[in-house]
């Protein structure tokens, strides 16, 4: 009886010193480290959260997604992809997670796969800025500048201050020989960038 009591007391003491007692605590600590740019510590806490009993697939998906963001910031793109894909498997209709998978595939140069994820996001939610931007970038990379320009327009309707869309719109306009209009987008992008 004394051994069991000592063991339980030891668990309580160790738990109180670590500051984390369950999945939610580890996940919250991981989120805090992620927001501070302390990506290694974020990953460590997300891993601990994932090794704890998880209550539901939604929280599991969020933890894997945030872990993917931390890995991506450390330029561990393949590991990030694995984490995002696991998040997607746990929440296959979460548009943000679908876009995260699309974006990391884009970074890895896996364009056809990336396009499939952006198109799935757009099927679920047609006015998804991130998916429209991703599709525009893919069209630009493939050389379909006119179609890319139209997608950048859609992004800018949703968010006129999206600097990626503004700069890339300028680039596709230059490729289409519309230099004076391209300069307008460059100036707007610089204006937005300087105001932030």
DSSP SS3 for 62: helix
Helices 145-158 & 129-142 angle (0-180, nearest 10): 160
- Model pTM score: 0.85
Question: For 83-126, what is each residue's pLDDT tens digit?
Answer: 999 999 999 999 999 999 999 999 999 999 999 999 999 999 99
Assess whether pLDDT exceeds 70 at residue 148.
Answer: yes
How many whole angstroms separate alpha carbon 37 and alpha carbon 49? 19
In the chain, the percentage of residues whose pLDDT exceeds 90 is 82
Domains of the chain: 22-125 (1.25.40.10), 127-196 (1.25.40.10)
Would you state the pLDDT for residue 53? 75
């Amino acid at each position: 009886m004394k051994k069991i009591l000592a063991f339980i007391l030891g668990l309580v003491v160790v738990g109180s010193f670590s500051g984390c007692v369950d999945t939610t605590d580890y996940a919250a600590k991981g989120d805090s480290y992620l927001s501070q740019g302390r990506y290694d510590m974020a990953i460590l806490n997300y891993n601990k959260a994932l090794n704890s009993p998880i209550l539901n697939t939604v929280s599991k998906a969020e933890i894997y997604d945030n872990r993917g963001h931390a890995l991506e910031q450390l330029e561990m793109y393949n590991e990030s992809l694995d984490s995002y894909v696991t998040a997607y498997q746990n929440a296959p209709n979460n548009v943000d997670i679908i876009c995260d998978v699309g974006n990391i595939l884009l970074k890895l140069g896996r364009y056809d796969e990336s396009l499939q994820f952006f198109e799935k996001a757009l099927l679920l939610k047609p006015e998804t800025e991130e998916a429209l931007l991703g599709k525009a970038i893919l069209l630009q990379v493939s050389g379909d500048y006119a179609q890319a320009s139209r997608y950048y327009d859609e992004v800018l309707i949703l968010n006129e201050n999206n600097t990626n869309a503004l700069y890339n719109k300028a680039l596709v306009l230059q490729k289409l020989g519309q230099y004076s209009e391209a300069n307008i987008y460059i100036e707007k992008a610089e204006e937005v960038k300087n105001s932030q």
